[in-house]
Amino acid sequence: MSSTTLVIPCYNEERRLDGPAFLRFAAANASVRLLLVNDGSRDQTLGLLRRLADERPIQISVLDLAQNSGKAEAVRQGMLQALSEGADYAGYFDADLATPLEASIEFTRVLDRLRGIDVVVGSRLQLLGRAINRRRKRAFLGRVFARAASMTLGIAIHDTQCGAKLFRATPWVAAAFDQPFCTRWIFDVEVLARIAQSTEAAGGPSLTECVYEFPLDDWREVAGSKLKATDFLKAPAELAQIYWRYLGPFRSEATPVVEMPRVVLSLAREDARPAEQDAARRAA
């Protein structure tokens, strides 16, 4: 059975974190590990996370970052640790559980079933039969941003900013988290741009071939979000920065995916896809 690690970035979550929900999920899903990342919290979040880890030490662990560096860096550090520990799949979910942890099981099934998919992205589509509770203003701004992100990435994607994503442990995924992000709020788009750059350099699959959008059954907007309305005003400049750095005609050279000083992965594992094996042979 595939092993999965979920990174949960936490900053001052003492009052919002639903500890029992994490424990119930861990008890019901032995193949999933939870890596709780304390991002330099100023309240008692770290103590709460450690108590959860003490309850289920095999499945729950804590990564303590002494200084607050923001969600993007907390996710990046957590993903590096998850990949270095040998998880088959690694991803991140928001600490407020706006997306229930149970959705990760469905994401895992997608990666198990579709060997060509490297990234499963939660999508907050308001379809019949789904319980997507989102304020109209946020939903509208989200759609406007998704259009802009689609133009930047060169693909049609409905929702880049949902805080629920799962990745297959491939070299290009590892390379996407190896260096600090140049953006903060829209680092999710930067992750996809980095994957696109790395796969192009290695002759791997395009984003349209390796990304799968999964319509969520449940999503609820939780009070106390650290996202501010003014953050949307920063998006155009950050999208432009992502495009010119990773995807534009004068983009910087991608770091070869076979050179990963932080995370060492094997391109020759038995379940590697033909495209990965071809990339390994060309690099050898």
Residue 249, pLDDT score = 84
Q: Do residues 2 and 28 make contact, with C-beta atoms less than 8 angstroms apart?
A: no
pLDDT (average), residues 96-124: 97
User: What would the DSSP string read from start to end of 94-140?
Assistant: -TT-SS-TTHHHHHHHHHHH-TT--EEEEE----TT-EEE--HHHHH
Instruction: State the chain's mean pLDDT as an integer.
Output: 87
Domain map (residue ranges) of the chain: 1-96, 98-284
**CATH superfamily assigned to domain 1-96:** Spore Coat Polysaccharide Biosynthesis Protein SpsA; Chain A (3.90.550.10)
* Range of lowest pLDDT (117-121, 138-142, 201-205, 263-267): 263-267
Tens of pLDDT, residues 3-42:
999 999 999 999 999 999 999 999 999 999 999 999 999 9
Nearest CA to 276 out of 208, 205, 210 is that of: 205
Residue 17, pLDDT score = 95
Residue 275: pLDDT band by 50, 70, 90 thresholds? very low
Residue 169, pLDDT score = 96
Distance CA 95, CA 77 (A): 16
Q: What amino acid occupies position 6?
A: L
Residue 185, pLDDT score = 87
Q: Do residues 105 and 10 make contact, with C-beta atoms less than 8 angstroms apart?
A: no
Distance CA 137, CA 269 (A): 46
Residue 253, pLDDT score = 66
Tens of pLDDT, residues 209-268:
999 999 999 999 887 666 666 667 888 999 999 999 999 887 776 654 444 334 433 333
Share of the chain above pLDDT 70, in %: 85
Classify the C-alpha dihedral 240-216-50-45 as positive or negative.
positive
Tokens of 252: 């910087």
Q: How many residues does the chain have?
A: 284
- The DSSP letter of residue 255 is P
Torsions phi, psi of 4, nearest 5?
-130, 135
Q: What residues does 60 pair with on adjacent strands?
A: 34
Q: Do residues 96 and 16 make contact, with C-beta atoms less than 8 angstroms apart?
A: yes
CA distances from 22 to 57, 122, 168 (A): 13, 19, 23
Residue 226, pLDDT score = 60
Q: Do residues 255 and 76 make contact, with C-beta atoms less than 8 angstroms apart?
A: no
Q: Do residues 52 and 260 make contact, with C-beta atoms less than 8 angstroms apart?
A: no
Distance CA 259, CA 230 (A): 38
Distance CA 96, CA 227 (A): 13
Tens of pLDDT, residues 159-185:
999 999 999 999 999 999 999 999 988
Tens of pLDDT, residues 135-159:
888 888 888 999 999 999 999 999 9
Q: What residues does 62 pair with on adjacent strands?
A: 36
pLDDT (average), residues 95-99: 96
Tens of pLDDT, residues 45-75:
999 999 999 999 999 999 999 999 999 999 9
Neighbours of 261 (CB within 10 A): 7
CA distances from 27 to 13, 146, 265 (A): 22, 36, 29
Q: Do residues 258 and 167 make contact, with C-beta atoms less than 8 angstroms apart?
A: no
